[in-house]
Amino acid sequence: MFDIFKILDFLKKTFTRKDVLLIILIASLFFLTRLINLDQFPIFSDEGIYIRWAKVAWHDASWRFISLTDGKQPLQTWGTIPFLKLFPNNLLFAGRLFGVVGGFLSLVGFFVLSFYLFGKTSAITGSFLYVFTPFFLFYERMALVDSWVNAGFIWIFLFLIYLVKERRLSTSLILGLIGGFFLLAKSSVRIFLMLGVLSPLLIFQKNLKKLFTETVNFYSLLGFSIVIALVLYNVQRLSPFFHYVSQKNLTFVMSFDEFLKTPFQYFWNNLRYTPLYILWEMGFALGLIGLIGLMKLIVENKKLGLYFLLWIILPFVAIVFFTKVLFPRYLIFFASILLLLSSYLLAEALAKANRNLLIFLFVLIFLSVAFFDLTILFGYRYIPFPAVDRGQYIEGWPAGWGIKETMEFAREKSKEKPVIILAEGNFGMAYDVLDVFLRPEDKITLKGYWPMDEKQLYENQPLLKDNYVFVFFSHRDQFPEFWPIKLIKKIDKPGYQSDFHFFELTNKK
């Protein structure tokens, strides 16, 4: 039976005034590090897509499932709309607030999970480290769904453990609602529910009859949770585009038929880069400390340690064998697992008052994340990402350097007469990212083309009579002299691997 007074009494007995101040400090540091310069990092092409979807769905209710047209679940679209309403003139800031909220849900879940498994010291220590872990710091500042996938992992992991230990119908119901909610974020959340079958390991005992009874009861409740989750997930069938989800998944994950034909097609590449990406974007030290913590946990609490080990190994095996496209952000939940184990090890060291070990570990952690964090917040071009992420967010064609400034230039010109921008790319880069910076009152029209060459340029020349017409090239870097365009600005990116070109259309025949 719910009793708010018992809960308050528990909190009062468990947390001292010092603990409360530390928790407030952690929450304050979280929002400070997530909100500072939030809209200053150059827009990523995928962010442009997701924000435009939310923008369309906001203004036209018939398109609330617009993300399904590209095989993406709708949670980000729905969750971004309230922020667009709050900040209609800064859609990038609004879109990235969605990631910040997902990160806060992750932080709260991380604190509760760590407290439940390892105690108060681990929860406070781990939550403090969570705030400064580069993996979380970066992706929770982006208009991407990955912070919500991480939140889904943490809360599902927590309630699976609680369900197997308590075996309550109410817990099963909550787990089902949580699972269904986060299934609307990304297909990969399914693996967290599937791994629930491992949970009886935590109640393994020599009394086989009792073990059998408790295991059957747990699986019955887990089945109930999965049914609830699937019912919520199938709300997407209200859209005629639901079938695109399974098709889109095959872009990133091998089907079983593909796997049987070429089981090792992606294996060696994924085997090499999966652990590298996880450790790299954690700053290496935290991940390695987590692995040491795992070994200690297996010694101290064999059942829980093996449970953690299986949650690392089984998804890892699935990823290295089946994943076609591997980006670090897809691996973010591994960072939560390793950080949980790191906080466990550090809490154990604190409990034993091993001062020299603690100083060494915290100095090591500080040195490993300090530069990473500072560049994420203030020096974007120097973020020490692995090459694949520098290519996506900083150096390659998806990195939107100069997009905001381009739209500000067009806005100034539109004060003289209407502006039309011809954008190379009608999906993502460049149309969608330009659209993010378009305000309701702007006298600016965007027209996306793919491909775009002289044909589109000449077709739009008649518009010059009453408008300024500008041309934004996001992919092409060769422009014949006879084309009717005059260069306004070339936008170079760090690393000089790609650039943008911004032209004015002329009447040249």
pLDDT of residue 1 exceeding 90, the answer is no
At which residue do the structure tokens 């209407």 appear? 418
Same domain, 275 and 377: yes
Q: Is residue 300 part of a domain?
A: yes
Would 338 be classed as within a structural domain?
A: yes
Secondary structure of residue 212 in the 3-state scheme = helix
Q: In the predicted model, is pLDDT for residue 305 greater than 90?
A: yes
**Same structural domain, 420 and 290:** no
Query: What pLDDT sits at residue 377?
Result: 98
Q: What is the CATH number of the domain that holds 465?
A: 3.40.190
- Please say if the pLDDT value at position 496 is more than 90: no
Are 380 and 267 members of one domain? Answer: yes
Domain match, 137 and 272 both:
yes
Are residues 352 and 431 both part of a single domain? no
381 lies in a domain?
A: yes
Task: Look at residue 274 in the predicted model and tell me its pLDDT.
Answer: 98
What pLDDT was estimated at residue 353? 75
Q: In which domain, by residue range, is 339 found? A: 4-387
Stretch 143-160: mean pLDDT? 98
Structure-token match 């299934």, residue found = 183
The angle subtended at Cα 53 by Cα 438 and Cα 91, nearest 5°, is 40
| C-alpha 507: how far from chain center | 45
Least confident of 1-15, 199-213, 339-353: 1-15
pLDDT of residue 184: 98
pLDDT at position 5 is 87
pLDDT of residue 7: 87
Q: What percent of the chain has pLDDT over 70?
A: 100
Q: Which of 251, 249, 282 is nearest to 126 (CA)?
A: 282
pLDDT at residue number 143 = 98
User: Which of the four pLDDT bands, split at 50, 70 and 90, describes residue 25?
Assistant: very high
Residue range 36-51: average pLDDT? 98
Contact 385, 282 (CB under 8 A): no
Q: Are residues 152 and 44 in the same domain?
A: yes
Give the range among 11-15, 33-37, 90-94, 263-267 with minimum mean pLDDT: 11-15
Query: For residue 328, which phi and psi values (nearest 5 degrees)?
Result: -55, -35
Asked, for residue 303, whether it belongs to a domain, the answer is yes
- CA 362/CA 358 separation, integer angstroms: 6
Asked if residue 135 belongs to a domain, the reply is yes
Q: How many domains, in total, are found in the chain?
A: 2
Shared domain for 169 and 265, answered yes or no, is yes
Confidence band of 212 (pLDDT split at 50, 70, 90): very high
The Cα 154–Cα 224 span in angstroms is: 20
CA 117 from chain centre, in angstroms, equals 25
378 and 298 co-located in one domain: yes
pLDDT at residue 324, as a whole number: 95
Q: At what angle do helices 45-59 and 75-86 cross, to 10 degrees?
A: 80
Q: What is the pLDDT of residue 275?
A: 98
Residues of the chain above pLDDT 90, percent: 94
| Tens-place pLDDT, residues 333-357 | 999 999 999 999 999 998 887 788 8
Q: Measure CA of the first residue to CA of the last residue in the chain; give whole Å.
A: 80
Domain membership flag for residue 314 = yes
pLDDT of the residue at 203: 95
With beta carbons less than 8 A apart as the criterion, state whether 502 and 489 touch. yes
Residue 26 belongs to some domain of the structure: yes
pLDDT tens sequence across 61-73: 999 999 999 999 9
**Residue bearing tokens 């009874």:** 213
DSSP letter, residue 394:
I
pLDDT of the residue at 385: 96
What average pLDDT does the chain have? Answer: 96
- Spell out the residues 6+ positions from residue 384 whose beta carbon is closer than 8 angstroms to its own: 371, 372, 375
What residue type is assigned to position 427 of the chain?
Answer: F
For the stretch 433-461, pLDDT in tens is: 999 999 999 999 999 999 999 999 999 99
pLDDT at position 3 is 82
66 within 8 A of 53, measured Cβ to Cβ: yes
Q: Among 365, 387, 409, where does a domain finish?
A: 387
Over residues 117-131, mean pLDDT: 97
Assess if residue 392 is contained within a domain. Answer: no
Domain boundary among the residues 324, 358, 387 is at 387
Has residue 87 got a pLDDT over 80? yes
Asked which of 79-93, 353-367, 451-465, 474-488 is least confident by mean pLDDT, the reply is 353-367
The pLDDT confidence band at residue 222, using thresholds 50, 70 and 90, is: very high
Same domain for 282 and 162, yes or no, is yes
Q: How far apart are CA 393 and CA 429, in angstroms?
A: 12
Residue 2 has pLDDT above 90, yes or no: no
